[in-house]
Amino acid sequence: MRGARGAFAWLVAWLGLIASCGGGGDGKNPTGDSSGDQQYLLQHNARFNDGRTVRWANLPIRVFTNNIAQQDEVTEWTGASGGAVTFTFVGSASGANITFRFGQGDDICGETEVRYLSSGEILSADVQVVQDIFRSPQCQRTIVHEVGHAIGYLDHSDDGGLMDPDGGNGVLTAPVANMIRQLYSMVPGTVVGALTPRTSERPRGGVRSIRIVDPVRR
């Protein structure tokens, strides 16, 4: 009889352990990210790759500033991401991951073209800024904004902060910083949502590209 009571007590404790580990509907996926975080990551990154994350596979990211960007404008993302994204600076475009150069026009502050594999690894990021205006009042912290695109923020925010199309108030907001931290905690190509493949945007060899244009403030 004593043995039966002991077995029953063991069974109750075991079932309780299972219940406590069963995920009580807290809206989080197995990686511990909330569904809201996942949706934000999907909206601003993974939706451009059929629901799979897009990021640099290897760190630090090699940057050629071309005497255009200041190093602290680039490394601001290291602080914002809690150290998740790191950079090193190289003396030429050869071998660089992110390159800066001057573009033309009077209606945009800058633009960034990101090339990446369908497996989720970024291949290159080409940043162009308009020399005459990219540091003018009509362009809000253009370099920091473009670096955000180059490391994986492939869309624009609408929260009034730096990653709004016109740079907003120039502040790197918490949702943006959190998304970059989350992105770089995952391997490239991590599935965060299922979308219909856009075969017309899938070049031969699995290489894709996206060009993000940032207009001047009106």
DSSP string, the chain: -HHHHHHHHHHHHHHHHHHHHS--S-SB-TTS-BHHHHHHHHHHTGGGGTTB--B-SSSSEEEE-TTTS-HHHHHHHHHHTTTSS-EEE-SSSTT-SEEEEEE--SSEEEEEEEEEETTSBEEEEEEEEETTTTTSTTS-SHHHHHHHHHTT--S---SSSTTSTT-TTS---HHHHHHHHHHTTS-TT-B-------GGG--GGGEEEEEEEEEPP-
Residue 162 within any structural domain of the chain: yes
User: Considering its fold, how many domains does the chain have in total?
Assistant: 1
Residue 34 within any structural domain of the chain: yes
Residue 178 within any structural domain of the chain: yes
The pLDDT of residue 218: 76
Residue 38 within any structural domain of the chain: yes
The pLDDT of residue 205: 52
The pLDDT of residue 35: 79
What is the domain extent for residue 187? Answer: 29-212
Residue 6 within any structural domain of the chain: no
**CATH code at position 54:** 3.40.390.10
Q: Tell whether pTM > 0.85.
A: no
Residue 23 within any structural domain of the chain: no
From first to last of the 218 residues of the chain, give the pLDDT tens digit.
445 454 444 444 443 433 333 333 344 444 446 778 999 999 999 999 999 999 999 999 999 999 999 999 999 999 999 999 999 999 999 999 999 999 998 899 999 999 999 999 999 999 999 999 999 999 999 999 999 999 999 999 999 999 999 999 999 999 999 999 999 999 999 999 766 555 444 444 599 999 999 999 87
Residue 20 within any structural domain of the chain: no
Residue 4 within any structural domain of the chain: no
